[in-house]
């Protein structure tokens, strides 16, 4: 049975963890959905095991690194950090098409307490735009 993209779109929600292809990156990346509207999703990438050294000098960006433990998420090979300093928007239709075609997979769901922690962290951030906060993080 061929599932319509519109049905897939209705199944994507806050806290879903996707593994997806992204333009300009030669391998699939983890992506955590933190907001959904009629046309787009918004979220963040995982950074495996370490925080990028360039961030250590930027306190506001460092404040947006959220630890994600392997014991909580079996698909991770290592304890990691969710880098919430870079908001990524993607069209919901593109994500749904990727799921249908197999280039994107929903591999898990972020624990509710972790979603709440990340949302609180992002809402308090000075580097996340008010537009993104209003559109996706409330």
Q: What is the pLDDT of residues 69-91, one digit of tens each?
A: 999 999 999 999 999 988 999 88
SS3 percent helix, strand, coil of the chain, rounded to 5, is 30, 30, 35
Q: What is the pLDDT, as a whole number, of residue 106?
A: 92
pLDDT, position 1: 52
Q: Which pTM was predicted?
A: 0.87
Q: Distance between CA atoms of 56 and 35, rounded to whole angstroms?
A: 27
Class of domain 5-136 as given by CATH = mainly beta
Percent of residues, the chain, with pLDDT higher than 90: 51
Distances (CA, A) of 13 to 27, 49, 84, 108, 115: 24, 26, 17, 11, 12
Domain map (residue ranges) of the chain: 5-136
């Amino acid at each position: 049975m061929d599932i319509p993209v519109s049905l897939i779109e209705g199944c994507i929600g806050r806290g879903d963890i996707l593994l997806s292809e992204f333009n300009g990156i030669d391998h699939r990346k983890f992506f955590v959905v933190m907001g959904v509207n009629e046309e787009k999703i918004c979220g963040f990438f995982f950074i495996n095991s370490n925080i990028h050294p360039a961030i250590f000098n930027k306190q506001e960006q460092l404040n947006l690194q959220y630890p994600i433990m392997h014991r909580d998420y079996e698909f991770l090979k290592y304890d990691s950090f969710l880098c919430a300093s870079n908001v990524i928007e993607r069209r919901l239709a593109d994500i749904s098409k990727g799921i249908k075609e197999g280039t994107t997979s929903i591999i898990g769901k972020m624990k509710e307490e972790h979603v709440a922690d990340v949302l609180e962290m992002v809402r308090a951030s000075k580097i996340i735009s008010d537009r993104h906060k209003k559109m996706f993080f409330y």
